Amino acid sequence: MVRADPDRLEAMTINPDLQGRSYPAAEVYDVGREKIREFARAVKATHPAHFDVDAAKGLGHRDLVAPPTFAIIIAQRADAQLIEDPEAGIDFSRVVHADQRFTHHRPIFAGDRLVAELHVDGVRAMGGGAMITTRAEIFALTDGDGREPVSTTKSSILVRGEGQ
């Protein structure tokens, strides 16, 4: 990705040195059955594997299966470390989500204990604003302090400049 022009970013206070920064896995996210059901209802999903443990097991899963975009909860918690970082200079009220991708190495199930590492892959000026691309690597904690890759999420946010 093209390195941002520091002069243009300075005009809107986004710190160009953010690019390449990482935030290590912080708190553990415990995936509960009711949270999967709540999130599924919130995105108007009706598939029984989100709601009924027997239906999920009938498909060969160990517990309720999270909807395909559930990982956004964990990814946006990781993103919050960046957005709330005073050094980043991001005005959350001017943030617009530009793109999003989920790559699932395995599904997320109720009972998973997840952690996310956040990587800032790109910062570039865009009009009077800035486009910031982040990647969250989400792992499940396994017995014996192991970590199993679960999802990689990539997200670009546009921090709108004045009049954008």
Q: Which residues bind other proteins (CB under 8 A)?
A: 35, 38-39, 41-47, 49-50, 59, 61, 65-69, 72-73, 76-77, 92-104, 107, 154, 160, 163-164
Nearer to other proteins, 125 or 157 (CB): 157
Closest distance of CB 47 from other proteins, Å? 5
d(CA 141, CA 75): 16
Q: Which amino acid is at 102?
A: F
What's the min distance (Å) between Cβ of 43 and other proteins?
Answer: 3
Nearer residue to other proteins within complex by CB, 11 or 68:
68
DSSP state of 63: S
Which position has the token pair 């999920």?
A: 56
Residues in contact with 136: Cβ distance below 8 Å, sequence separation at least 6, in sequence order: 71, 74, 75, 78, 79, 116, 117, 118, 119, 151, 152, 153, 155
Rounded to a whole number of angstroms, the minimum distance from the CB of residue 129 to other proteins is 12
